[in-house]
């Protein structure tokens, strides 16, 4: 059962007050790091690391491959708040609950949300290590973080998603990739599935036919909340494996992490370059 919206609002406000009391600077940009990508947080200068478990009201992480820390500081000359580790629908959280950190950081004044994930490639033109700039999404998670009474102070009842991913940020990302000489940077549609089971061959074929270029188990709920809160959104998927429905290979978490970590260097370079431009 979901807590009442008043209880949820009170929890959000507790987290906001706590962070207002300990952050030296208002974060401009929120970065959410996916599986195998959390090392980006090591690049932050003057970091203040706050474990999620110390933030009143925050959900607690259950996935061992994800560190659960909020790291605040400076990166690429910008005040950033890095969410090192996220919460997933498959862990049992409602999407309203798992998106609480984004709601809290939006209320602290952050204006831009940069989200990353490790994803399975569905576009046969992708390879392991492709960085996909998310241009649109499909929400196949059977929940919406805005379900239930709307908090009008937080955003509109029916937020428009016709331009979910900021066009200018996508273009800047492509320009940065070119400048850095990164070859495997593409654009595409990300599909969020509930998980935790991976896709069957028939589901892989279906998702591709639906227009998805990559598939994963995250990101879309957070993006919906960020847009509801009026934040600009940039999403980047790191393709760890490419799924061919006619010859589907086992998809194993250890391989996903290893492949994502290999691509993490390019991802980090791109991210730092983009932050300079935002």
Choices 73-81, 85-93, 134-142, 238-246; region in contact with ligand HPA by CB under 6 A: 238-246
Out of 177, 243, 245, 273, name the contact with ligand HPA by CB under 6 A.
243
DSSP string computed for 175-190? HHHHHHT---EEEEEE
In angstroms, give the least distance from the CB of 251 to ligand HPA.
5
Out of 75, 207, 233, 256, name the contact with ligand HPA by CB under 6 A.
256
Residue numbers 71-130 binding ligand HPA by CB under 6 A: 118-120
Cβ contact 116:267 at 8 Å: yes
Rounded to an integer, what distance in angstroms lies between the CA atom of residue 19 and that of residue 191? 32
SS3 191: strand
Of 211 and 230, which has the nearer Cβ to ligand HPA? 211
How far CA 30 is from CA of 72, 151, 196, 233, 247, in Å, comes to 9, 22, 26, 10, 38
In angstroms, give the least distance from the CB of 122 to ligand HPA.
8
Residue 217 makes contact with ligand HPA by CB under 6 A: yes
Out of 97, 199, 222, 273, name the contact with ligand HPA by CB under 6 A.
199
> What number of other Cβ atoms are within 10 A of residue 80's Cβ?
28
By CB under 6 A, the count of residues binding ligand HPA is: 13
In angstroms, give the least distance from the CB of 253 to ligand HPA.
8
> What number of other Cβ atoms are within 10 A of residue 275's Cβ?
21
Out of 114, 215, 234, 274, name the contact with ligand HPA by CB under 6 A.
215
Choices 65-73, 175-183, 211-219, 267-275; region in contact with ligand HPA by CB under 6 A: 211-219
In angstroms, give the least distance from the CB of 36 to ligand HPA.
9
Of 84 and 241, which has the nearer Cβ to ligand HPA? 241
How far CA 206 is from CA of 119, 200, 203, 210, 232, in Å, comes to 16, 10, 5, 6, 30
Q: Which of 115, 161, 121 is nearest to 138 (CA)?
A: 161
Could you tell me the two tokens for 192? 């969020």
Q: Contact residues for ligand HPA (CB under 6 A)?
A: 118-120, 198-199, 215-217, 240-241, 243, 251, 256
């Amino acid at each position: 059962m979901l807590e009442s919206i008043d209880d949820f609002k009170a929890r959000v406000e507790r987290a906001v007050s706590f962070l207002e009391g300990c952050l030296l600077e208002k974060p401009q940009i929120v970065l959410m790091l996916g599986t195998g990508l959390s090392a980006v947080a090591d690049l932050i200068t003057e970091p203040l690391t706050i474990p999620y478990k110390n933030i009143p009201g925050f959900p607690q992480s259950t996935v061992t491959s994800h560190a659960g820390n909020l790291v605040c500081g400076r990166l690429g000359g910008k005040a950033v708040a890095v969410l090192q580790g996220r919460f997933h629908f498959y862990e049992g959280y409602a999407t309203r609950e798992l998106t609480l950190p984004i709601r809290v950081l939006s209320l602290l004044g952050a204006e831009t949300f940069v989200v990353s994930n490790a994803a399975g490639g569905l576009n046969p033109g992708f390879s392991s290590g492709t960085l996909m700039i998310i241009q649109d999404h499909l929400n196949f998670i059977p929940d919406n973080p805005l379900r239930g009474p709307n908090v009008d102070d937080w955003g509109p009842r029916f937020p428009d998603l016709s331009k979910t991913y900021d066009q200018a940020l996508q273009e800047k990302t492509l320009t940065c990739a070119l400048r850095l000489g990164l070859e495997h940077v593409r654009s595409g549609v990300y599909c969020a599935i509930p998980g935790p089971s991976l896709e069957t061959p028939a589901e892989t074929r279906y998702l591709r036919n639906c227009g998805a270029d990559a598939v994963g188990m995250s990101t879309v709920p957070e993006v919906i909340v960020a847009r509801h809160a009026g934040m600009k959104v940039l999403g980047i998927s790191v393709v760890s494996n490419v799924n061919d429905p006619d010859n589907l290979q086992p998809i194993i978490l250890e391989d996903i992490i290893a492949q994502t970590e290999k691509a993490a260097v390019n991802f980090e370079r791109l991210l730092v370059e983009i932050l300079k431009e935002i």
